Homo-oligomer: A and B are copies of this chain.
Amino acid sequence: MSKVEVKGRVSPFPMPVAILGVMLKDRPNFMTIAWFNRFNGNPSIWGVGIGKGKITLEAIEKHGQFSINFPSSDQIAVTDYCGIVSGRDVDKSRLFNVFNGTLEHAPMIEECPLNLECTLYKLVELPKAVLVLGEVISAYSDDRFMTNSILDPKKVDPILLTQPDNHYWTIGDIVGDAFEVGNKLKQ
């Protein structure tokens, strides 16, 4: 064995990338996220880590609603931009065509192939971030991103992030069927 301790902060390998939408006082705001996942299947409860002091966190605390929007790899520049500049300094509402579902304070991005509207479920305090847990109320896509009525990853063409190298990636090739390829190891 030749294991070595890895210096520096290690990240999940890789992380999905999305854009979180909230309503500020007078406009929609969008912030890029990579620290999120789903944690409960039904109801569908997702968690997002947001740094303390972010204006997005204030908006979620105020309205109890937000959206999660999944961009395609051809939206990489605007996606990165939404993670570089703050809604305190810049009006990001004009970057996208915005639509609403059933929630008033969960603005969604029309150009993104997958959109979720969420209500706040719980806030969990962490040392330098708040873990925002939200329940997905509805999800939206477009027929052109689906095959046989389910989302097709190759058509959605999502963006991945790896750190600490700080690269965005596409998904590659299918290497197996989940809950199937391991059956051959059964005794």
> Chain A interface (Cβ within 8 Å of chain B)?
1-16, 18, 34-47, 49, 70, 73, 76-85, 97, 99, 110, 114-116, 122, 124, 126-129, 131, 133, 136, 138-143, 149-153, 156, 158-186
Measured between beta carbons, the chain B residues less than 8 angstroms from A160 are 14, 160, 171
Name the distance in Å between A132's Cβ and chain B's nearest Cβ: 9
Is A151 within 8 A of B131, CB to CB? no
- The verdict on A139 contacting B5 (CB below 8 Å), with A168-B176, A179-B80 known, is yes
Measured between beta carbons, the chain B residues less than 8 angstroms from A8 are 150
Cα separation A122 to B78 with both chains bound (whole Å): 35
Name the distance in Å between A77's Cβ and chain B's nearest Cβ: 5
Residue of B nearest to A47 (CB): B47
- The verdict on A139 contacting B10 (CB below 8 Å), with A80-B181, A185-B77 known, is yes
**Quick one: which of A80, A122, A124, A141 has the most chain B CB within 10 A?**
A80
Which residue of the partner chain, among B1, B41, B143, contacts A2 with CB atoms under 8 Å? Answer: B143
Measured between beta carbons, the chain B residues less than 8 angstroms from A126 are 39-40, 45, 133
Is B79 within 8 A of A39, CB to CB? no
Measured between beta carbons, the chain B residues less than 8 angstroms from A18 are 12
Is A37 within 8 A of B40, CB to CB? no
Is B127 within 8 A of A124, CB to CB? no
**Quick one: which of A49, A79, A116 has the most chain B CB within 10 A?**
A49
